[in-house]
């Protein structure tokens, strides 16, 4: 045998060996978990996934989800082809409802998630027929943030954003369905979000919101863009995520305030698409995430608000206050962004801010 | 073989490959987009396969018209600006020694390796009040106090021109370096000043290259969607930003596709008109 054919045979044998050993590799349990890219993914990779693997033997491969509904669009398209880009996904509430309409989500079996009993009832997400399609993953607040050097006194109300001395000083999220500013304006000036039930009500709220425009310097889609400007004082006030702002406040002149009308309480759910082939492992993971000690760890390490009842977590009052507040939160009206009015609201919103 | 039409499969193979790539990566995706633009939007859901012109009918709004006109105007403006600066710039480069030319071109090409995100963030910091160039001007005594220039129209213009400029030079460079140096010399021998020579001889003989570059930069800047988000205010958001919002944040793919198709048709029509106009003015072949 000359060298060349020997090489050929060795490669062939190696190849066959690799193929034969495939099932052995597959026997190792793995799970792909989709988490919002950036801060959340980094935190989960560091604090949550390694311990989960240690305890259950299931190896987690984390997938960075893009913001917005891009991930939902990808899941929809992939699901039609019978593919699941990730087995368990962290999904925002508006996207949860949109996925429901196309029956994208696999119904979850609560019997396999005994820890669901710990959850606050709002965190068990259901199809209209009562089947469970999502379990609360994390919840977080969007609050009023400000630069302490530019504004030595903390603002007290969302209404402060409208005052004349804030001209060209605010950074706000650019879309109706991620800023929830309609809900904020409705709660601050119209006594609650029920005014958003009708088109006339939405129009009134939009008109009020239009008055804040001269004060807005930046309508942002990308968090990093505002965070940088907030830290430097370039854009010294606005709405932002309480968890990241609190983290930033340790090194920068930044503060996060729960206004007297309440912070915006938003959340993400764990959801599994029908194309997922690892339902068993997915249930194990979701159950693990509902454990009070894990939610406590998330609050302490990541700064999210717990999805389980406060008394179960064993968080001290001070720790709880750092991630949440006893002021009644503003709960977004997810229904209006998925209902019949949704396209109309989005168009009016874009017209309002681009005018 | 040379000059004759290709015969047999073997001779046609080299052209089959790019043709297949064009079909796979351009024709098919565009076909899908065209098809989706006729699908029916499910409010609050996804879409259903259908044939409806409703998405196109929804385009006829003041908002869409205003954003369409703005997108076309700012791209045209940036194209004009890039060529106005890039043309003399490229001319000077072609007049340098070979080695210096290479250095300049490499620097320009390396700018292309920066992503639009980095470019936009860099400009937003450079034009900021807290860390921007206005602080430098204050230090030099040219300004009273530091100001913020971003986000705004000129910040957006800077960002868009910055990413388009290397392409401008790279497109202008080949025809300009082929320009016979005897032409301007002859003009000057006959008594024309350097400035007159530049505008009449150099600009004049490269007119079709200028039109081609304008069209290229125009089409290129039409597609930017990240830079207007970061460096522009909402009134400066281009159609590409609205298309992104519809597709990514509202999962309204049919409407986003309809906008994209319509946008493409309008810009192709504009490019066609420009080329026709350019041809009409072209002197008869020498």
Q: A229 to chain B, minimum CA–CA distance in Å?
A: 9
The CB density around residue B156, as the number of other CB atoms within 10 Å, is 26
Chain A touched by B265 (CB under 8 Å): no
What whole-number distance in Å separates Cα of residue B70 and Cα of residue A213? 20
CA A207 to chain centroid, in Å, comes to 28
CB A69 within 8 A of CB A95: yes
Across the interface, which of A97, A102, A232 has its CB nearest the CB of B131?
A232
Beta bridge partners, B263, equal: none
CA distance B21 to chain A (A): 23
Are the folds of A29-139+266-323 and A141-264+330-354 the same? yes
Q: Report residue A124: phi and psi, to 5°.
A: -105, 105
Backbone angles phi, psi at A136, to 5 degrees: -50, 125
Taking Cα atoms as reference points, which of A106, A105, A114, A107 lies closest to residue A132?
Answer: A107
pLDDT at B286: 46
Q: Which of A180, A175, A161, A355 is nearest to A263 (CA)?
A: A180
Which residues, other chains included, contact A197 with Cβ-Cβ below 8 Å and sequence gap of 6+? none
Six-digit token string for B206? 């490269």
CA distance A258 to A78: 40
Segments making up each domain of chain A, as ranges? 29-139+266-323, 141-264+330-354
Please tell me which of the candidates A98, A347, A353 has its beta carbon nearest to residue B45: A98
Which residues of chain A are within 8 Å of residue B148 when distances are taken between CB atoms?
A: 217, 234
Given a contact cutoff of 8 angstroms between Cβ atoms, the answer to whether A151 and A236 are in contact is: yes
Neighbours of B122 (CB within 10 A): 13
Q: Which two tokens stand for residue A128?
A: 């209209």
Strand-pairing partners, residue A240, are A143
Q: Do A217 and B245 touch (CB under 8 A)?
A: no
- Asked if the Cβ–Cβ distance from B45 to A70 is below 8 Å, we say no
Query: B185 in contact with A at a CB cutoff of 8 Å?
Result: no
Q: Calculate the alpha carbon distances from A115 to A124, A229, A273, A282 in Å.
A: 11, 41, 21, 14
Across the interface, whether the CB atoms of B44 and A340 are under 8 A apart is answered yes
The partner residues of A98 in beta bridges, in order of sequence, read none
Is B249 part of the contact surface with chain A (CB cutoff 8 Å)? yes
Asked whether the beta carbons of residue A217 and residue B42 sit closer than 8 angstroms, the reply is: no
Beta bridge partners, A126, equal: A132
Q: With CB atoms and an 8 Å threshold, state whether B44 touches A337.
A: yes
Contact yes or no for A246/A255 (Cβ under 8 A): no
Peptide bond into A151 cis (omega under 30): no
Nearest Cα to Cα of residue A326 among A245, A232, A258: A258
Residue listed under structure tokens 């409010």 = B43
Distance from CA of A35 to the nearest CA of B (A): 17
Determine how β-strand A132-147 pairs with β-strand A264-271. Answer: antiparallel
Q: Which of B44, B233, B237 sits opposite A101 (nearest CB)?
A: B44
In chain A, whose CA is at the least distance from the CA of B127?
A: A234
Q: Taking the CB of residue A243, how many other CB atoms lie within 10 A of it?
A: 25
pLDDT for res A12 = 64
Question: Residue B80 has what pLDDT?
Answer: 96
- Tell me how close the Cα of A6 comes to any Cα of chain B, in angstroms: 35
Residue A339 DSSP SS3:
coil
Q: Flag whether residue B60 sits within 8 Å of chain A, measured between CB atoms.
A: no
Q: What angle do CA B82, B87, B90 make, to 5 degrees?
A: 110
Q: Show residues of chain A in contact with B62, CB under 8 Å.
A: 351
- CA dihedral (B195, B200, B202, B204) in degrees, to 10, reads 150
CA distance B225 to B120: 11
CB pairs under 8 A between A and B: 88
Indicate the CATH number of A141-264+330-354 among 3.40.190.10, 3.30.365.10, 3.40.50.300, 2.40.160.40. 3.40.190.10
Length of chain A (residues): 355
Per the listing, tokens 């305890």 go with A55
Nearest CB partner across the interface for B43, out of A73, A219, A343: A343
Locate the chain A residue with the closest alpha carbon to B152.
Answer: A217
Contacts of A221 in chain B (CB under 8 A): 229, 249
Which of B43, B131, B233 lies closest to A342 in CB terms? B43
- B57, B164 Cβ separation under 8 angstroms: no
User: Strand A30-36 and strand A59-65: pairing?
Assistant: parallel
Contacts of B35 (CB under 8 A, 6+ apart): none
Residues 28-57 of B with CB under 8 A from A: 41-46
Taking the C-alpha atoms of residue B54 and residue B59, their distance in angstroms, rounded to an integer, is 9
Report how far residue B99's alpha carbon sits from residue B86's, in angstroms, rounded to the nearest whole number.
20
Which site among A177, A273, A347, A351 would you substitute to test the B interface, given the most B Cβ atoms closer than 10 Å to its Cβ? A347
Check A98 against B251: CB less than 8 A apart: yes
**B positions 69-108 inside 8 Å of A (CB):** none
| Domains of chain B listed by start with CATH number | 61-281 (1.10.3720.10)
Between CA B215 and CA B217 the distance in angstroms is: 6
- Is the CB of A102 less than 8 angstroms away from the CB of B45? yes
CA A84 from centroid of its chain's CA atoms: 20
* Regions of chain B with pLDDT less than 70: 1-4, 6, 280-286
Give B282→chain A minimum CA distance, Å.
41
Q: What is the DSSP letter of A218?
A: E
Q: Which residue of A has its CA nearest to B252?
A: A343
b/e per residue B219-246 (b: at least 16 CB within 10 A): bbbbebbbbbbbbbbbebbbbbbbbbbb
Q: How far apart are CA A59 and CA A243, in angstroms?
A: 27
For B48, the closest chain A residue by CA position comes to A102
**B48, containing H or E segment:** strand B47-48
CA distance A311 to A300: 15
Chain A positions with Cβ closer than 8 Å to B: 66, 68-70, 72-73, 76, 97-98, 101-102, 174-175, 177-178, 217-219, 221-222, 225, 228-229, 232-234, 337-340, 342-343, 346-347, 350-351, 353-355
Contact B230 A350 (CB under 8 A): no
- The verdict on a CB contact (< 8 Å) between B63 and A337 is no
Q: Which residues are A172's β-sheet partners?
A: A219
Give the other-Cβ count within 10 Å of A185's Cβ: 27
User: Would you give the end-to-end CA distance of chain B in angstroms?
Assistant: 30
Low-confidence ranges of chain A (pLDDT < 70): 1-27
Please state, in angstroms and rounded to a whole number, the distance separating the CA atoms of residues B258 and B62.
16
Q: What letter does residue B158 receive in the DSSP assignment?
A: H
CATH class for domain A29-139+266-323?
Answer: alpha beta
Cβ of B44 within 8 Å of Cβ of A72? The answer is no
Token match 């002149």: residue?
A253
List the single residue in B with minimal CA-CA distance to A216: B233
Closest partner CB to A234 (pick from B42, B46, B129): B129
CB contact under 8 A, A232 and B249: no
The predicted pLDDT at position A69 comes to 83
CA B107/CA B113 separation, integer angstroms: 10
Chain-chain contact of B251 with A73 (C-beta, under 8 angstroms): yes
């Amino acid at each position: 045998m000359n060298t060349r054919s020997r090489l050929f045979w060795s490669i062939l044998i190696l190849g066959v060996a690799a193929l034969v050993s495939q099932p052995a590799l597959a026997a190792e349990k793995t799970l792909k978990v989709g988490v919002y890219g950036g801060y959340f993914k980094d935190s989960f990779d560091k604090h949550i996934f390694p311990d989960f693997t240690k305890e259950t033997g299931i190896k987690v491969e984390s997938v960075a989800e893009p913001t917005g509904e891009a991930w939902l669009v990808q899941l929809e398209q992939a699901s039609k082809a019978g593919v699941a880009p990730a087995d368990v996904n962290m999904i925002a509430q508006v996207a949860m409802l949109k996925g429901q309409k196309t029956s994208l989500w696999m119904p979850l079996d609560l019997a396999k998630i005994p820890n669901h009993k710990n959850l606050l009832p709002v965190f068990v997400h259901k199809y209209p027929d009562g089947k469970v399609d999502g379990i609360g993953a994390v919840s977080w607040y969007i609050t009023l943030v400000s630069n302490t050097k530019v504004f030595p006194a903390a603002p007290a109300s969302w209404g402060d954003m409208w005052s004349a001395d804030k001209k060209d000083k605010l950074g706000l999220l650019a879309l109706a369905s991620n800023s929830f500013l309609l809900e904020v304006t409705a709660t601050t000036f119209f006594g609650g979000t029920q005014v958003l039930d009708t088109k006339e009500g939405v129009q009134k709220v939009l008109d009020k919101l239009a008055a804040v425009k001269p004060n807005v310097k930046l309508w942002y889609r990308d968090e990093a863009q505002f965070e940088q400007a907030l830290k430097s004082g370039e854009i010294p006030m606005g709405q932002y995520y309480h968890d990241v702002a609190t983290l930033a406040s340790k090194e920068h002149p930044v503060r996060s305030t729960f206004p007297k009308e309440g912070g915006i309480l938003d959340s993400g759910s764990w959801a599994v698409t029908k194309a997922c082939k690892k339902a068993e492992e997915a249930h194990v993971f979701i159950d693990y995430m509902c454990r009070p000690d894990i939610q406590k760890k998330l609050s302490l390490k990541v700064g999210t608000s717990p999805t389980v009842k406060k008394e179960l977590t064993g968080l001290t009052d001070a720790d709880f206050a750092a991630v949440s507040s006893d002021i009644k939160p503003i709960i977004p009206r997810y229904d209006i962004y998925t209902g019949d009015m949704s396209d109309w609201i989005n168009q009016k919103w874009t017209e309002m801010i681009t005018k | 073989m040379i000059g004759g039409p290709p015969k047999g499969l073997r001779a046609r193979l080299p052209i089959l490959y790019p043709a297949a790539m064009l079909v796979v990566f351009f024709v098919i995706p565009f076909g899908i987009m065209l098809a989706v633009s006729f699908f029916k939007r499910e409010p609050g859901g996804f879409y259903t396969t259908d044939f409806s012109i409703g998405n196109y009918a929804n385009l006829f709004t003041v908002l869409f018209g205003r954003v369409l006109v703005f997108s076309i105007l700012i791209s045209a403006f940036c194209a004009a600006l890039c060529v106005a600066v890039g043309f003399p710039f490229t001319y000077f480069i072609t007049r340098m020694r070979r080695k210096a030319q290479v250095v300049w071109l490499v620097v320009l090409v390396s700018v292309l390796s920066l992503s639009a995100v980095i470019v936009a963030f860099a400009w937003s910091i450079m034009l900021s009040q807290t860390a921007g160039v206005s602080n430098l001007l204050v230090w030099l005594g040219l300004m009273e106090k530091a100001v913020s220039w971003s986000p705004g129209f000129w910040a957006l213009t800077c960002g868009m021109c910055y990413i388009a400029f290397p392409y401008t030079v790279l497109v202008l460079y080949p025809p300009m370096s082929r320009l016979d140096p005897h032409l301007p010399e002859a003009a000057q021998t006959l008594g024309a000043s350097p400035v007159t020579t530049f505008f009449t001889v150099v600009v004049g003989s490269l007119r079709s290259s200028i039109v081609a570059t304008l069209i290229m930069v125009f089409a290129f800047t039409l597609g930017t969607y990240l830079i207007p988000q970061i460096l522009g205010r909402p009134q400066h958001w281009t159609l590409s930003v609205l298309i992104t919002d519809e597709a990514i944040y509202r999962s309204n793919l049919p409407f986003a596709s309809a906008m994209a198709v319509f946008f493409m048709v309008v810009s192709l029509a504009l490019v066609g008109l420009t080329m026709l106009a350019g041809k009409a003015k072209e002197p008869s072949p020498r």
